[in-house]
Amino acid sequence: MPELSQETERTKGLLPLGPAEVTGPSMVPTLHHGDRLLVHWGARIRLGDVVVLRHPFQQDLLVVKRAAERREGGWWVLGDNAYAGGDSTDYGVVPEELVLGRVRFRYRPRKSDQRSPFALVRWALSAARPVFSDRSASRRLRAR
């Protein structure tokens, strides 16, 4: 169930932008285990944004999900990986005060087996990317 490393909690609050590290499969294919994130803490959340939130039942646990729908009482959040679980289908609407920030940027570290020139070029072209709102994905997820 954990989605972000414990280091995230220690760095949050120092600046409006801060790092986080993904530690679970629920946001695949958008985010993968080991991805590093740049989070805009306290940012305004819109439909389709990838967000960092406190787990409603375990508030010392931070998770990353997609804000799929605005409902009475907060946000309905879903993971991009339909088979991973651990989203609003399990715990319901997340209150607004538990949604902490919006993910702005993703950096995927190089794997140790990526040594060939082709693998290095491929990694360099895909390692760092902004994380945009994906309203089409949130509609698709809401339909499941």
41 beta partners = 101
79 versus 136: the higher-pLDDT residue is 79
Other C-beta atoms closer than 10 Å to the C-beta of 8 total 21
Q: What is the DSSP string of 21-87?
A: EB-SSTTTTTS-TT-EEEEEETPPP-TT-EEEEE-SS-TT-EEEEEEEEEETTEEEEE-S-TTT--S
Question: Which pLDDT tens digit goes with each residue over 98-134?
Answer: 999 999 999 988 888 777 888 888 888 888 889 988 7
Question: Which pLDDT tens digit goes with each residue over 38-53?
Answer: 999 999 999 999 999 9
Average pLDDT over residues 5-12: 52
The pLDDT-based confidence of 139 (bands split at 50, 70, 90) is very low
Q: What is the per-residue pLDDT for 122?
A: 84
Question: Which pLDDT tens digit goes with each residue over 9-40?
Answer: 545 555 799 999 999 999 999 999 999 999 99
Give the N- to C-terminal CA distance of the chain in Å, as an integer.
20
Residue 13 sits at φ, ψ, to 5 deg, of 100, -20
